Structure 1
Amino acid sequence: MSDVTIVVATRDRAAELRRSLARHGAPVIVVDNASRDDTPAAAREAGARLIRLPRNLGAAARNAGVREAATRYVAFADDDSWWAPGSLERAAAVLDAHPRTALLAARVLVGEDARLEPVSQAMARSPLGRPDGLPGPAIMGFLACSAVVRREAFLDAGGFSELLHFGGEEELLALDLAAAGWGMAYLPELVVHHHPSPRGRDPAARRRREVRNRLLTAWLRRPLPVLLRTAAGALTSAHGRRGVADAVRALPAVARSRRPVPRRVEAARALLGDY
Structure 2
Amino acid sequence: MPDLKRCISVVVLTYNRKTEVCHTLRRMLALPQAVDIIVVDNASTDGTRDLISSEFPQVRFVCLPRNVGAAARNVGVQMANTPYIAFCDDDSWWAAGSLERAVHILDAHPRVAALCARILLGPQETEDPVCQVLANSPLPSAGLPGRALLGFIACATVVRRAAYLQAGGYEQRFFVGGEEELLSIDLVSNGWSVVYAPELTIHHHPSPQRDNPGRQKIVLRNTLWVSWLRLPFASALRQTWATCRSARDIRTLAAALLEALRELPWVWRERRVISHQVHQMYRVLRD
Could you state the TM-score of these two structures normalised by the residue count of structure 1?
Answer: 0.95
Structure 1 residue aligned with 2:214: 205
Structure 1 residue aligned with 2:240: 231
How many percent of aligned residue pairs carry the same amino acid? 47
Structure 1 contact 234–244 (Cα < 8 Å) conserved: no
Give distance in 2, aligned partners of 1:224 and 1:34: 38
Q: Deviations over 1:9-53 (max 9, x none)?
A: 211111110111111133210111111111112332223101111
Q: How many residues are paired up? A: 272
Deviation at 1:125, TM superposition (A): 0.2
Structure 1 contact 59–160 (Cα < 8 Å) conserved: yes
Aligned to 2:279, what secondary structure does the other structure show? helix
Give distance in 2, aligned partners of 1:230 and 1:15: 40
Q: Deviations over 1:42-83 (max 9, x none)?
A: 332223101111111111100010010011100000100000
Structure 2 contact 10–36 (Cα < 8 Å) conserved: yes
Structure 1 contact 74–151 (Cα < 8 Å) conserved: yes
Give distance in 1, aligned partners of 2:234 and 2:130: 26
Q: Whose helix proportion is higher, 1 or 2?
A: 2
Structure 1 contact 81–194 (Cα < 8 Å) conserved: yes
Is 2:180 the counterpart of 1:170? yes
Taking the TM superposition and a 5 Å limit, the aligned residue runs for 1:75-224 are 75-132=86-143, 134-199=144-209, 201-224=210-233
Taking the TM superposition and a 5 Å limit, the aligned residue runs for 1:12-51 are 12-24=16-28, 25=31, 26-44=35-53, 45-46=55-56, 47-51=58-62
Is 2:81 the counterpart of 1:70? yes
Give distance in 2, aligned partners of 1:7 and 1:216: 26
Give distance in 2, aligned partners of 1:131 and 1:13: 41
Q: Deviations over 1:240-261 (max 9, x none)?
A: 2321222111222322110011
Could you state the TM-score of these two structures normalised by the residue count of structure 2?
Answer: 0.91
Aligned to 2:274, what secondary structure does the other structure show? coil
- Identify unmatched segments of 5+ residues in structure 1: none
Give distance in 1, aligned partners of 2:162 and 2:87: 15
Is 2:2 the counterpart of 1:5? no
Give distance in 2, aligned partners of 1:219 and 1:258: 7
Structure 2 contact 116–196 (Cα < 8 Å) conserved: yes
Instruction: Name the amino acid aligned to 1:13.
Output: R
RMSD: 1.4
Q: 1:254 aligns with which of 238, 244, 267?
A: 267
Q: Deviations over 1:161-210 (max 9, x none)?
A: 111111101010101110110011101110010001122x1111111100
Give distance in 2, aligned partners of 1:89 and 1:153: 20
